[in-house]
C-alpha cells in the first residue's frame, strides 16, 4: 500500500511499505537506504520523534518524515545550530522547531550517514524498480494469454452453439404471428416536443382519430394500441420460447431438478431476453432493428409503458451496446443471469451458486485473454454492474406489464403469464 509522505519528507520519493522485495533485487549492486520492514504485529514507533514508524531506514526504526529529513540534511551538507541549550525535546508535534536537535537525535538513534544513496544511485534503483515492474506486467499479460482452461473453452463453445441454434433476435421465423400496423405504431408528438426519440416518418393522424390533453403529446386511440399490444405480446412469447430451448441445451441446466429449472426460467427469462434484444439495438437511433421490423421507445409508450421506465431502459441498452461485446461475452452474461442462486423456490442453491461462479470466472478469463489490457481492464466490473441494473429494470418492467394488463383488461399470453407468475 502506498504511504503518503509526511510533511517533512521528500515529496518526490514516496516509498512502499512492501517494497523490500524490490530493493533487494540487486543487493550487491546498490546500497540500500531502507532495510526490511519489521513483520506486521504491534505498531512500531519512530525512535526519533515518536510518530508511527514505517520500518528501518538508515539502520534505525523511523517514520517517513524523519527518514526524509535525515537524508536531505546529510545529502545537502546542511549545518544546523540550536538556539537553545541543545537538548530540545523532539516529538511529532515539535520536530520542526529545532532541526539541529532533531538531526542529533537521528544520529543518536543509530541512523548512518554512509547508507545515504547518491542521486545517481537513486536513479539507478528507480530504473531497476521500473524494469521489475514492467517484467511483472509482462508476466501478468502472459498469464492472461493462458487464462482459459480447456473446460472453459468447451463451456463457451456449448453456450455459443446453443445460442446460434435457438436464438435469433431479428426474428426471421416470426411469421405466423399477428403483424403490427406499422403506420400506427408510433406516438405523434406535438411540435413543442424536443425528445430525440421522435417518431420515424409516421404520418399525422386525422383529428377524429387522435386526442390531446393539455401539455401532452397526441396519443393513438385504443384499437391501434391494442393491435400493437397483441403483436408485442406474441414477440415476447416467441422470445421466451427461444430462451427455454437455449437453456435446455446447457448441460448444467439439464442436470438440475425440474423444479429448479422452472424457478430459474421464471426468474431470468425476461433478463436474458433483454440481453438478446440488445444485439439488434442501434445506439445511434435508439431503435431495435429486427430484420424488416423495428421498434422504438414510442411503441412502448403507445401500449402503456411509462416514459419514466422506458428512458432508463434505453440508456441501459445504449451503455451495453457501446461496449461492443463479443458473442461469447453476451452468452456468458446470459448464463450468469440464468444461474442466479437467489431466485425464489430453488432447492439446490449451493450447486447453482457454484455454476454461476464458474460462468462468471469464465467470462473474466475470456475478457483477460481476448481483450487488450487497456480495453478489458474494467470491462468485467462494468458487465457485473449492468447485470445488477438489469435486475432492477426487469422488476420494474414486470410491474409495468401488469399495469398495462389491468388498464386494458387484456388477457396476458399463457407463457408470459407463467413466466411472470
CA dihedral (403, 408, 413, 417) positive or negative = positive
pLDDT higher for 293 or 15?
293
**How does residue 176 score in pLDDT terms, banded at 50, 70 and 90?**
low
Q: Which helix (H) or strand (E) is 287 found in, with range? A: strand 287-290
Give pLDDT tens digits for 23-56: 333 333 344 555 444 545 578 999 999 999 999 9
CA dihedral (298, 303, 305, 310) positive or negative = negative
pLDDT of residue 28: 39
* 6-20, 221-235, 338-352: segment of lowest average pLDDT: 6-20
**How does residue 403 score in pLDDT terms, banded at 50, 70 and 90?**
confident
Instruction: Supply the DSSP string of 201-255, one letter for each residue.
Output: SPPPPPGGGEE--TTS--EE-HHHHHHHHHHHHHHHHHHHHHHHHHHHT-HHHHT
pLDDT of residue 359: 95
pLDDT of residue 140: 63
pLDDT higher for 101 or 306?
101
Residues β-bridged to residue 16:
2
Q: What's the mean per-residue pLDDT of the chain?
A: 77
**How does residue 194 score in pLDDT terms, banded at 50, 70 and 90?**
very low
Query: How far from each other are the two terminal CA atoms of the chain, in whole angstroms?
Result: 50
**How does residue 21 score in pLDDT terms, banded at 50, 70 and 90?**
very low
How remote is the C-alpha of 331 from its chain's centroid?
17
* 153-162, 178-187, 277-286: segment of lowest average pLDDT: 178-187
**How does residue 404 score in pLDDT terms, banded at 50, 70 and 90?**
confident
**How does residue 99 score in pLDDT terms, banded at 50, 70 and 90?**
very high
Give pLDDT tens digits for 235-260: 888 888 889 999 999 999 999 999 99
**Domains of the chain with bracketed CATH:** 20-142 (3.30.50.10), 149-420 (1.10.565.10)
pLDDT of residue 93: 93
Amino acid at each position: 500500500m502506498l504511504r503518503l509522505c509526511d510533511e517533512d519528507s521528500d515529496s518526490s520519493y514516496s516509498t512502499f511499505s512492501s517494497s523490500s522485495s524490490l530493493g533487494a533485487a540487486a543487493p550487491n549492486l546498490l546500497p540500500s537506504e531502507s532495510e526490511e520492514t519489521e513483520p506486521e504485529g504491534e505498531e512500531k514507533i519512530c525512535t526519533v520523534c515518536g510518530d508511527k514508524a514505517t520500518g528501518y531506514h538508515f539502520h534505525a526504526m523511523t517514520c517517513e518524515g524523519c527518514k526524509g529529513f535525515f537524508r536531505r540534511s546529510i545529502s545537502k551538507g546542511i549545518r544546523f545550530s540550536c538556539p537553545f541549550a541543545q537538548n530540545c525535546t523532539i516529538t511529532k508535534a515539535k520536530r520542526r522547531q529545532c532541526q539541529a536537535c532533531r538531526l542529533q537525535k537521528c544520529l543518536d538513534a543509530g541512523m548512518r550517514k554512509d547508507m545515504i544513496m547518491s542521486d545517481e544511485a537513486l536513479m539507478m534503483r528507480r530504473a531497476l524498480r521500473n524494469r521489475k515492474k514492467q517484467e511483472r506486467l509482462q508476466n501478468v499479460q502472459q498469464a492472461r494469454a493462458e487464462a482459459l482452461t480447456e473446460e472453459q473453452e468447451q463451456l463457451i463453445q456449448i453456450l455459443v452453439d446453443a445460442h446460434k441454434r435457438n436464438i435469433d433476435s431479428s426474428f426471421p421465423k416470426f411469421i405466423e404471428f399477428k403483424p403490427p400496423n406499422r403506420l400506427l405504431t408510433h406516438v405523434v408528438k406535438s411540435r413543442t416536443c424536443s425528445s430525440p426519440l421522435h417518431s420515424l416518418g409516421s404520418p399525422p393522424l386525422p383529428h377524429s382519430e387522435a386526442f390531446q390533453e393539455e401539455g401532452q403529446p397526441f396519443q393513438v386511440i385504443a384499437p391501434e394500441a391494442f393491435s400493437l399490444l397483441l403483436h408485442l405480446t406474441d414477440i415476447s412469447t416467441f422470445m421466451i420460447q427461444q430462451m427455454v430451448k437455449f437453456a435446455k441445451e446447457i448441460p448444467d441446466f439439464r442436470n438440475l431438478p425440474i423444479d429448479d429449472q422452472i424457478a430459474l426460467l421464471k426468474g431470468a427469462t425476461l433478463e436474458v431476453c433483454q440481453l438478446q434484444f440488445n444485439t439488434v439495438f442501434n445506439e445511434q437511433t435508439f431503435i431495435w432493428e429486427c430484420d424488416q421490423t423495428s421498434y422504438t421507445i414510442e411503441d412502448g409508450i403507445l401500449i402503456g409503458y411509462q416514459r419514466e421506465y422506458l428512458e432508463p431502459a434505453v440508456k441501459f441498452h445504449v451503455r451495453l451496446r457501446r461496449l461492443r461485446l463479443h458473442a461469447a461475452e453476451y452468452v456468458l452474461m446470459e448464463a450468469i443471469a440464468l444461474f442466479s442462486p437467489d431466485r425464489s423456490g430453488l432447492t439446490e442453491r449451493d450447486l447453482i451458486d457454484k455454476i454461476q461462479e464458474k460462468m462468471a470466472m469464465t467470462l473474466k478469463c475470456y475478457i483477460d485473454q481476448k481483450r487488450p489490457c487497456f480495453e478489458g481492464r474494467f470491462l468485467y466490473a462494468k458487465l457485473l454492474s449492468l447485470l445488477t441494473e438489469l435486475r432492477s429494470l426487469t422488476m420494474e418492467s414486470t410491474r409495468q406489464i401488469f399495469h398495462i394488463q389491468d388498464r386494458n383488461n387484456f388477457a396476458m399470453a399463457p407463457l408470459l403469464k407463467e413466466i411472470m407468475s
